[in-house]
Amino acid sequence: MLHRRDGSSSGWTRRDALSALTASLGFGLAGDALGAAGGSQAAAPVAEGRRPSVAFPKGAVIRSLLADLVPGTLGRGAVLFHEHLSYNNDFFARLGSEAPQRLGSPLAGPFTGRHFMEDLDWMTEELQAAAKDGVSAVVDGGHADMGTDVEFLRLLSNRSGMPIVKGGGYYRQLTYPPRIARMSESELVEELVRHARDQRWGAFGEIGTSDDITPDERKMLRAVGKAHVRTGLPIFSHTANGKAAMHQLDIFEAEGVDFSHLVIGHMCCYFDPNPWREVHAAIAKRGAYVGFDRVGGEQAAADRPRVEMVLAFLDGGHERRALLSSDFSFQASSKRGGGGGVARAVTKFVPMLRERGVQDDVLHRILVDNPRRFLAFVPRRG
């Protein structure tokens, strides 16, 4: 199916592009969008003329921290499947210790004092701005081993009115607590299932691997696969910028993971030696989602190759397997810090796709339908 118009709409202002997008998503630029997000804990009508083109299985829910939401009632806007809303500086100190810091890099320290994601007022403001920008729900991909605080996220969802889906689990070898090495796979499975229930996780993620997958990371992937089979919870992964994507798929497949509830992540900042076109297509053909989840950054130049990747993926007929998000992590990306904010995948990256002729129905599928299909699961007792 063609996803592009002939000719391009270049010359649009950002506001033109955003207006067209939000209209295509079924709400106006301001005001109504906040209502869509804020009202989504209750039943909100589906926008006229924009009924979801997705049928959900009977009993399927999207599990936010505050409620199990019927997928068709989760507002009308974009759902961002991989962002971060709660971190602390210890985590960044660890990340920074991994590689020498470049001057001007977002990872340049110092990593002391309070992280901006520990400031409830600041983050409330960011989420309310995201609602105005057309976002209906946000998935947080952080864990205790990244300084993520579930209670903070619960308060934040309450105060901002933004539904937050908690992704749970462990990040990667760098941050595993020492006991992970000592735990058996089945002990890990039991722990994951228990925490998922007690903390109301709505997904496992981000579940990561390093440049070279370690034995503990393999064990973690297998345990998460088994916990998914027990609970039905969807999974989204972290790859080292595309590395070992197929390896992750193989491990999850061996555990019987339902690929229609699996995203292989960070496939847009691609450093794997295998050609990205082939890897993206192979993931989609096996039925999993390809996460273009570091888009909408502060440097438009960095997004240009990512636009080409998404266009190639759509040209290959894989629009039902594409997901967008921004991996929001740094103060400079926040609205208060002068950046695009939590919604930047929608407000900064999507206009670049529109300029290249990607049509409204395709954008609607990628931003609205696909994340709901990925997240909506029929809970099992575990």
Tokens of 239: 């790859």
Contacts of 320 (CB under 8 A, 6+ apart): 365, 370
CB of 42 to Zn ion, least distance (A): 33
Which CB, 133 or 206, lies closer to Zn ion?
A: 206
The string of DSSP letters for 126-191 reads HHHHHHHTTEEEEEE---GGGT--HHHHHHHHHHH---EEEEES---GGG--THHHHS-HHHHHHH
CB of 7 to Zn ion, least distance (A): 37
CB of 354 to Zn ion, least distance (A): 27
Contacts of 47 (CB under 8 A, 6+ apart): 25, 26, 27, 76
CB of 146 to Zn ion, least distance (A): 9
What number of other Cβ atoms are within 10 A of residue 140's Cβ? Answer: 31
User: Buried b / exposed e across 117-135, counting CB within 10 Å, b at 16+?
Assistant: bbeeebbbbbbbbbbbbbb
CB of 30 to Zn ion, least distance (A): 31
Which CB, 216 or 361, lies closer to Zn ion?
A: 216
Task: Decide: 62 and 202 in contact? Cβ < 8 Å.
Answer: yes
- Nearest residue to Zn ion, using CB? 238
Which CB, 238 or 348, lies closer to Zn ion?
A: 238
CB of 272 to Zn ion, least distance (A): 15
The helix (run of H) or strand (run of E) holding residue 90 is: helix 89-98
Using DSSP's 3-state secondary structure scheme, residue 290 falls into strand
Residue type for position 126 = E
CB of 22 to Zn ion, least distance (A): 28
What number of other Cβ atoms are within 10 A of residue 225's Cβ? Answer: 23
CB of 143 to Zn ion, least distance (A): 11
Tokens of 154: 């619960």
Which CB, 206 or 217, lies closer to Zn ion?
A: 206
The string of DSSP letters for 317-364 reads T-GGGEEE------GGGSTTTTS--TTHIIIIIHHHHHHTTB-HHHHH
CB of 39 to Zn ion, least distance (A): 31
Which CB, 83 or 369, lies closer to Zn ion?
A: 83
Contacts of 11 (CB under 8 A, 6+ apart): none
CA distance linking residue 189 with residue 78, whole number of Å: 32
Which CB, 90 or 190, lies closer to Zn ion?
A: 90
DSSP secondary structure letter of residue 87: -
Which CB, 238 or 318, lies closer to Zn ion?
A: 238
Which CB, 87 or 152, lies closer to Zn ion?
A: 87
Which CB, 82 or 318, lies closer to Zn ion?
A: 82
Enumerate binding residues for Zn ion (CB under 5 A): 206, 238
| Helix 185-198 / helix 215-231 crossing angle, nearest 10 deg | 50
CB of 25 to Zn ion, least distance (A): 26
Which CB, 27 or 236, lies closer to Zn ion?
A: 236
